Amino acid sequence: MPSDAAVITTGLRKVFRVPVREAGLAAATRSLVRREHRDVVAVGGVDLRIEPGEVVGFLGPNGAGKTTTLKMLSGLLHPTSGTVRVLGHEPFRRERDYLRRMTLVMGNRNQLQWDLPALDSFELSRAIYRLPEDLFLRQRDELIDLLDLGALVDKPVRNLSLGERMKAEIANSLLHRPEILFLDEPTLGLDVTMQRRIRSFLADYNRRHGASVMLTTHYMADVEALCKRVIVIHHGAILFDGALTDLSEQFAAHKTLVVTLERPTDPSSWSRYGDVVASTPTRATLRVGREATAAVVASILSDHDVRDLTVEDPPIDEVIELAFASAEAPS
């Protein structure tokens, strides 16, 4: 296998040993003396290959194993078994050459100095990554510009809004221009405008510098805007790995048709084409089986004088839910 991929894992597995005890005072007292443990498989044998410059959405419900996987890739956790290589390094060795080439951003955890302007934290990062001054200034100013941080970097971080702080956090994490970005819910809790701003920045950054990005998020808008490829993980196993567009093909059995007519028709007549989601005499929203879509469109066009007709996949979050549901369903 060629080894110039940004990330390669085979059979990557992480098992946590966690203490268990029953509820109640007696059980709590017993556990002081004798602790019982059980093994929890957080990631159960994951094979991944991510190419340089790829932006991959890493999706799954809470507890699916997303963060554990990211932590193994960023060198914070030792895998229980399996192999992992990122940029040619074994991350858990935490070699400095590797750490200088990657970054980890966690949406809910700060690393900027709270009482000081972000510029002071940037200086610290410069020392940590040992950046020569001219390079540091160039990269810092580019990030300030791209993230529109000009008016914010000299205010104490505690006076910034959550979204402004996140932008400064991201700038701080990218000063050393990493080749791979592990982003764990970077838009968590931000308002829609700020989410959009950060998304467009990340897309721009990826285009400019060809960095690989691995992103976990619960916001489907992030995924649609950034990720051509998605990996869906559930109970520590990969459920889907492919193009975002193929996700609907695989998990959504229906498409949505929205029809607008030139002249009114009997609303009850819509039901012969598919499940009626909403209807008026001149307009209907229908849910139609994926396989039957072409035939239904043909018969609507021949039966009616159609002004407008659109065929849509269900919203992406609905598709993801369908994917999780399919994994839960007994086979």
Q: Which residues bind another protein (CB under 8 A)?
A: 4, 6, 16, 42, 52-53, 63, 65, 67-68, 71, 74-78, 94, 96-97, 99-104, 106, 109-111, 113, 115-116, 120, 123-124, 127-132, 135, 138-139, 176-177, 179, 208-212
Distant-in-sequence, close-in-space partners of 10: CB < 8 Å, separation ≥ 6:
47, 82, 83
CA distance 220 to 91: 29
* Nearer of residues 38 and 109 to another protein, judged by Cβ: 109
Of 110 and 279, nearer to another protein (C-beta) is 110
Residue 39 CB, nearest approach to another protein (Å) = 13
Percent helix / strand / coil, the chain, rounded to 5: 40, 30, 30
Pick between residue 76 and residue 306 the one whose CB is nearest to another protein. 76
Shortest approach of another protein to residue 104 CB, angstroms?
A: 5
Written as six digits, the tokens of 246 are: 């193929």
Q: Are strands 237-243 and 212-216 parallel, antiparallel or unpaired?
A: unpaired
Minimum CB–partner distance for residue 184 and another protein (Å): 9
Nearest-10 Cα torsion for 150, 128, 14, 110: -40
The smaller minimum CB distance to another protein, of residues 53 and 267, is found at 53
CB atoms within 10 A of CB 246: 13
List the alpha helices (DSSP H) in 48-132.
Answer: 66-73, 96-99, 118-128
Q: State the minimum distance, in angstroms, from the CB of residue 189 to another protein.
A: 16
Cα 32 to chain center, whole Å? 40
CB of 142 to another protein, least distance (A): 9
* Alpha carbons 261 and 60: distance in angstroms, whole number: 40
Nearer to another protein, 4 or 291 (CB): 4
Shortest separation between residue 153's beta carbon and another protein, angstroms = 15
Residue 107 contacts residue 166 (beta carbons within 8 Å): yes
- Residue 3 or residue 193: which is nearer to another protein going by CB? 3
- For residues 100 and 304, which CB has a smaller minimum distance to another protein in the complex? 100
What residues are paired with 66 via a beta bridge? none
Q: Which is nearer to another protein, 217 or 285 (CB)?
A: 217
Taking the complex as a whole, the smallest distance from the CB of residue 38 to another protein amounts, in Å, to 14
Using left for φ > 0, alpha for ψ between -120 and 50, and beta otherwise, residue 211 falls in beta
Closest approach, Cβ 94 to another protein, in A, equals 7
Torsions phi, psi for 159 (to 5 deg): -90, 0
